[in-house]
Amino acid sequence: MSLVTEEIKSKAEVYYGDEMGKEKSQELLKEVGLPNGLLPLHDIIECGIVRETGFVWLKQKKSINHKFREDWEACLLRNRRKMTFKTPSGLFRTFPASAFEVEETGKGAAAKEAMGVSGAVEVKEA
């Protein structure tokens, strides 16, 4: 049984296919101030959002489990510029949020390139 009912879909913006699903999910992450490469998504079947409630769903062909590193569990956002990963024992590492950005292709990328904006950031050990 699906949690996304026809009633919910009737109120939502729904997108189909992998390419459109990736594009819309990255746009949504940017809208809420998160890095657009935070979610590793592949083989998206359907993506939808009900803007009035904020309900979002993604359907993929198969489940994907992604770990940044086995012993690093929690992910916190600090000042929307840095991502902090924390272990259960209290150790943590902070990276710039831009390290999780995915390079844009198409018109947006060409405009950024013309303005000299680069998304590449070097992450150094502390």
Q: Taking Cα atoms as reference points, which of 10, 7, 24 lies closest to residue 59?
A: 24
Q: Taking Cα atoms as reference points, which of 73, 107, 25 lies closest to residue 84?
A: 73
Q: Which of 30-39, 55-64, 76-85 has the lowest mean pLDDT?
A: 76-85
Can you give the length of the chain in residues?
A: 126
Instruction: Please list, in sequence order, all residues whose beta carbon lies within 8 angstroms of the beta carbon of residue 24, skipping any fewer than 6 positions away.
Output: 13, 15, 47, 49
Confidence of residue 87 (pLDDT cuts 50, 70, 90): confident
Confidence of residue 39 (pLDDT cuts 50, 70, 90): confident
CB 20 within 8 A of CB 47: yes
Q: Taking Cα atoms as reference points, which of 61, 96, 63, 103 lies closest to residue 78?
A: 96
Domain ranges of the chain: 1-66, 67-126
pLDDT of residue 73: 45
**pTM recorded for the entire structure:** 0.56
Strands (DSSP E) found in the chain = 13-16, 44-50, 55-60, 74-78, 82-86, 92-96
